[in-house]
Structure 1
Amino acid sequence: MIFRCWRTIRYLKWRQIYYRFRYAFPHFLNSPSISFSFFTEKLVSRFPFPLLSPPSFDGKQCFTFINQTHALEGNNWNDVSREKLWLYHLHYQQYLLQEDCDAAYWVRKWIQDNPPYQGNGWEPYPISLRLFSWIKVAIQKKIVLDEDVLSTFSRMVSRLYSRIEFHLDGNHLLENLLALYLASYFFEHTDFRNRRIRERIESLLKKALDEQFLEDGGHYERTPMYQAILMERIADLLNIVDRNYCPELQDKLVIILRRGMRWLNTMAPFGRIALFNDSAYNGTPDLNGLNPYVARILNESVDSLVQPLDSMIPSGYIRVGCGDWTIIQDVGPVGPDHQPGHSHCDMLSFCAWLNGQEIIVDSGNCTYRKGEMRQYCRSTRAHNTVTLNDMEQAEIWASHRVGRRGYPVVPQIECSSQRISMKSGHMAYHFLPGKPTVVRNIILDNNRLMVEDRVESNHEIVCASYLHFSPNVSIQKIGKDIIVIADSRRIRISSSVEGILEKGYYCPDFGKIIENTVVRFVFKNKLEYVLTPI
């Protein structure tokens, strides 16, 4: 246990360690009061705010989040019998934009039932999202921000400013800073201290944006769901904040939004994201609403141009299309070394579509609660990749921890009009005797999908390669071959070793687990299999 902890914390930034200890003693922290005059005349937006998630409020007392429906009993916003993620969604208050929601009532009720600084709602991440929710609903529904609301707004901003999640970093830190930047837009900056706070927020946000968004537009946690969430947040910010307010930062946000949306659409070939890492459909803003919303913000189309080859090497993904096949492969590391909490053991894994229908899928993610299913969703065997000696690519533990991890080798890509070849590999298993390297070559040629897995080692190793199929297809075994029956096509899988049909789990949403079919190939050093439409 001690060594595993060391293998985990050795990758952290010193700032993360410092703030982890600092926030561990909250009694020694104050929440400084940031007093400001709220400019209500700034409560305008260029365009209406779309509701990009399914309705979660029934108009009375019941809320549905992560496929769980519960009533809010009295003033118990922090029911310990509820999953933490469910409670977080309750406190985000993104349901305030629903037409059947009395937003003014629910804002007042939250204030009455959640005194400072008690419960989940006063944690930094829920504060960040709720600040956006309150501003958006104040603009959209013209609710009056009375003295009580503005006083609570000030307390939330003060609390967030004193608890910025430097210890977590990643998307949490970015959400904190985006919310503080939005709040600072409404500050009266004649007071020196408030002006200094604003300048610090802007400086921190610029640094975070530069670090977290890569050259190809992807967020460095490499998770399509969080990419979409951050794109919505940045679009909301640009919709509200005047372009002349901090022009340099506003221009940076425009560039990030443009690149980020292209990345997101590339990772969603047919309107839905590929479920790499901690992605789930019901946690992702609806792209059918997000795309036109961002197009209005940018005054330009944001649809991704489909190319035969789209290499997003900084993010570690490659998307290819050839014949009737579309493939997205993960050729990147587990994530930023200092924050791999949303990463899975999925190096060299891929998803495949035939004529737009999902055939080979990522297992997705159904929960953040520590336990068997959380461990499964993050595991190597839950992905379309190779395990050695039944060990994990990375030392995943708890709910969001990663200890030992390995790194990929630079992929080699060859592309012609009729043939695409992607050769990639990783050294994640170098901790095993013989320091084995896993190499995968994916070839699209003559409408066939060919995969060659090779393990380079001078020691004998038990190798297994997995294929996870969509629950919307059926699988039959005919002799040594496997037949996949899709809506309009059949696919024959021929392999150098006989595939074994097993039960697996497909988790497209939080709170949803669907049984599916998995094919496992057990081999020694080399495996070849071919998927041919028939």
Structure 2
Amino acid sequence: MSLNGIINKGVRIYHTVKFLKLSQVFYQLKYRIATVKSLKPLVAPLHNKHLAFKVETPQVASATNDATFNFLNLQVVFNNNIDWDYQGNGKLWNYNLQYFNYLQQHDLPNHTKQAWLKQIGGWLKDGHLKPEPYPVSLRVMNTIRFITNQKQVEPVIIDDLFAQLSYLNHNLEYHILGNHLLENAFALFMGAHFFNMDTWRQKAKAVLYSELKEQILNDGAHFELSPMYHQIILFRVLELADWYSNADGNDTVFLTFIKTTAANMLGWLKNITFSNGDIPHFNDSADGIAYNSSQLFEFAQQLGIKPVTQLKLAGSGYRKYQFNNYECIIDVGAVGPTYQPGHSHSDALSFVLYNNSLPVIVDTGTSTYQIGDKRNHERSTNAHNTVEIEGTNQSEVWGGFRVGRRAEVTIIKDTANELTAVHNGYQKKFAANHQRNFNFAGDLIQIEDNISGSANLVCKALFHFHPNCNVQIQGNDKVLIDNIATMAFSGATRLEMQHYEMADGYNKYLPAICLAVSFNNDLKSIIAFTSI
């Protein structure tokens, strides 16, 4: 690597690390020094309390009795010789194997589920599989749910469950924080009640109080600003409200806090969900991972928890405009949270557009967490419906889950029909700012882009169309989206159709068209919907 390369890498690392909390640095060093390579065998207390789950989770088939597993649209057949550390499909696939969500499948025999729990317990204890707090958290919650519905469970499974919770108690992910620490706390709190461990209970409750207060924003959004992760965390909050409502001696103040948090999160989800039930795939979001919005609304209804309807989109930085035949959701939020932006994309001032409940302009989506070209592209500015300057990113996304310098967004105007915002992500490199104005009027959307500062920059406004859209360029300044709308451009120097792959879930793609509109400093785009 050249000297300039070394310097640039050092600067990038500096601008990444400077946002971390001191506690993250401390625990990162602590856990690196005191690495846990195997699970310490323990004997569980003689008496445990089965929890009462009133609402059954929706069934998702991902495993068969012959040890065939299907996660993230990738299947592996182990032929009853399961490699619990299998990395052939990447770390996230292996994590899904370790989560044991399939314990809730009715079509898997109970003896098979218990056999697999014993197997993975053995692997953890003999060092074949290193324990990690995140998959441990999800597995213990699934295991407790499973045990609750069984008349008899082999004692070694109970002992291994206790050992994993004991490990988790000493290895909460303070170095990562965010949704990881919340999952740890949900699991430890559930385990504390199962084994009647008061020290675990108090510790987990304190974390849940502090983290939910910090991580749930003033409009009810989860602060990692991924609609998918919002659904994941909302499910955990609802699940906690379910079983804790039936727990002996529950803390009514804490339970009220949990239900209030759930109601606020439901309110945000209702606001961000399209009328057909879809969520916009901003940041790291995909279908088929979390329970969808309709399932979560049904879960909440069974618990008697209603969405807070008076909450408006605010702190999350998302805005939604809904008219007679279209819905448009815009991202004018920051990269966040500052100290854990791992699921953020370089997508300031991007938007997603639906017409008559069908997707028209969409986010490219997320298909992988594997570090490489695909992950880099899906997080890039080029993969979003915003303006790219000189082929570079607004925010410095790198390394799969890292962000160095990041664009700061300022909202200038925010009314019922108009939104104007500006970001400075190109200021350092090109001495340029990007301002975008959206104006909504009946069947028309007008978008004005202005690049202030340097002249003679190569600017491109990008519009990613859903695969079902038939898009045609007409002349030098117009595009026809068959039976949906026309797009007219003022200030464009070139219109070009480009092929891209839309993520249709993890590791699954659909071919589609992106319109790249080149311009100098100013571009006006008018979307006029066709009346049918």
TM-score by length of 2: 0.91
Q: What secondary structure, in the 3-state scheme, does the structure 1 residue paired with 2:479 have?
A: strand
CA distance in 2, matches of 1:4, 1:34: 44
Query: Residues 330, 152 of structure 1: CA spacing in aligned structure 2 closer, same or farther, 3 A cutoff?
Result: same
Q: Check whether the contact 2:44–2:163 (CA below 8 A) recurs between aligned residues.
A: no
Q: What secondary structure, in the 3-state scheme, does the structure 2 residue paired with 1:432 have?
A: helix
Among candidates 453, 475, 478, match of residue 479 of structure 1: 475
Amino acid at match of 1:392: N
- For these two proteins, the number of residue pairs brought into alignment is 513
CA distance in 1, matches of 2:282, 2:190: 30
Amino acid at match of 1:18: F
Q: What secondary structure, in the 3-state scheme, does the structure 2 residue paired with 1:24 have?
A: helix
Amino acid at match of 1:162: H
Among candidates 102, 112, 131, match of residue 122 of structure 1: 131
What's the offset of the Cα at 1:276? Answer: 0.5
Query: Residues 268, 521 of structure 1: CA spacing in aligned structure 2 closer, same or farther, 3 A cutoff?
Result: same
Task: Name the structure 2 match of 1:191.
Answer: none
What's the offset of the Cα at 1:256? Answer: 1.1
Task: Name the structure 2 match of 1:221.
Answer: 224
Q: Check whether the contact 2:114–2:153 (CA below 8 A) recurs between aligned residues.
A: no
Q: Check whether the contact 1:394–1:428 (CA below 8 A) recurs between aligned residues.
A: yes
Query: Residues 392, 26 of structure 1: CA spacing in aligned structure 2 closer, same or farther, 3 A cutoff?
Result: same
What's the offset of the Cα at 1:29? Answer: 9.5
Query: Residues 300, 124 of structure 1: CA spacing in aligned structure 2 closer, same or farther, 3 A cutoff?
Result: closer
Task: Name the structure 2 match of 1:231.
Answer: 234
Is 1:425 the counterpart of 2:422? The answer is yes
Query: Residues 472, 433 of structure 1: CA spacing in aligned structure 2 closer, same or farther, 3 A cutoff?
Result: closer
In structure 1, stretches of 5+ residues that fail to align are: 189-193
1:98-247 equivalent positions in 2, closer than 5 A: 98-115=105-122, 116-117=124-125, 118=127, 122-139=131-148, 141-188=149-196, 194-242=197-245, 244-247=249-252
Q: Check whether the contact 2:36–2:130 (CA below 8 A) recurs between aligned residues.
A: no
CA distance in 2, matches of 1:252, 1:93: 29
Among candidates 250, 265, 282, match of residue 255 of structure 2: 250
In structure 2, stretches of 5+ residues that fail to align are: 1-8
Q: Check whether the contact 1:31–1:162 (CA below 8 A) recurs between aligned residues.
A: no
Q: Check whether the contact 1:469–1:518 (CA below 8 A) recurs between aligned residues.
A: yes
Is 1:37 the counterpart of 2:45? The answer is yes
Q: What secondary structure, in the 3-state scheme, does the structure 2 residue paired with 1:374 have?
A: helix
Among candidates 45, 57, 65, match of residue 63 of structure 2: 57
Q: What secondary structure, in the 3-state scheme, does the structure 1 residue paired with 2:66 have?
A: coil
What's the offset of the Cα at 1:38? Answer: 6.4
* Deviation string, structure 1 residues 326-352 (Cα, Å, up to 9, x no partner): 110000011111000000011100000
* Deviation string, structure 1 residues 106-143 (Cα, Å, up to 9, x no partner): 2332322443354557211111111111122223x425
CA distance in 2, matches of 1:5, 1:369: 20
Task: Name the structure 2 match of 1:324.
Answer: 325
Is 1:500 the counterpart of 2:523? The answer is no
What's the offset of the Cα at 1:313? Answer: 1.9
Is 1:378 the counterpart of 2:374? The answer is no
CA distance in 1, matches of 2:227, 2:367: 15
What's the offset of the Cα at 1:311? Answer: 4.5
What's the offset of the Cα at 1:503? Answer: 0.9
Q: What secondary structure, in the 3-state scheme, does the structure 2 residue paired with 1:444 have?
A: strand
Q: What secondary structure, in the 3-state scheme, does the structure 1 residue paired with 2:451 have?
A: strand
CA distance in 1, matches of 2:201, 2:109: 33
CA distance in 2, matches of 1:20, 1:446: 53
What's the offset of the Cα at 1:432? Answer: 2.2
* Deviation string, structure 1 residues 392-443 (Cα, Å, up to 9, x no partner): 111111110111112100241222xxxx111111111221243x22111111
Query: Residues 43, 10 of structure 1: CA spacing in aligned structure 2 closer, same or farther, 3 A cutoff?
Result: same
* Deviation string, structure 1 residues 39-84 (Cα, Å, up to 9, x no partner): 5443322333333xx4112343211100001113413111232321
Q: Check whether the contact 2:70–2:76 (CA below 8 A) recurs between aligned residues.
A: yes
Q: Check whether the contact 2:121–2:157 (CA below 8 A) recurs between aligned residues.
A: no
Is 1:268 the counterpart of 2:273? The answer is yes
CA distance in 2, matches of 1:34, 1:338: 36
Q: Check whether the contact 1:59–1:101 (CA below 8 A) recurs between aligned residues.
A: yes
Query: Residues 216, 32 of structure 1: CA spacing in aligned structure 2 closer, same or farther, 3 A cutoff?
Result: farther
CA distance in 1, matches of 2:150, 2:37: 36
Q: Check whether the contact 2:27–2:175 (CA below 8 A) recurs between aligned residues.
A: yes
Amino acid at match of 2:154: D
Q: What secondary structure, in the 3-state scheme, does the structure 2 residue paired with 1:338 have?
A: coil
Task: Name the structure 2 match of 1:398.
Answer: 399
Amino acid at match of 1:231: L
Q: What secondary structure, in the 3-state scheme, does the structure 2 residue paired with 1:281 have?
A: coil
Task: Name the structure 1 match of 2:350.
Answer: 349
What's the offset of the Cα at 1:378? Answer: 0.1
Amino acid at match of 1:316: G
| Root mean square deviation, CA, Å | 2.2
Amino acid at match of 2:219: D
Amino acid at match of 1:15: S
CA distance in 2, matches of 1:98, 1:472: 34
Further displaced range: 391-400 or 248-257: 248-257
Q: Check whether the contact 1:34–1:157 (CA below 8 A) recurs between aligned residues.
A: no
TM-score by length of 1: 0.91
Query: Residues 121, 259 of structure 1: CA spacing in aligned structure 2 closer, same or farther, 3 A cutoff?
Result: farther
Is 1:292 the counterpart of 2:298? The answer is yes
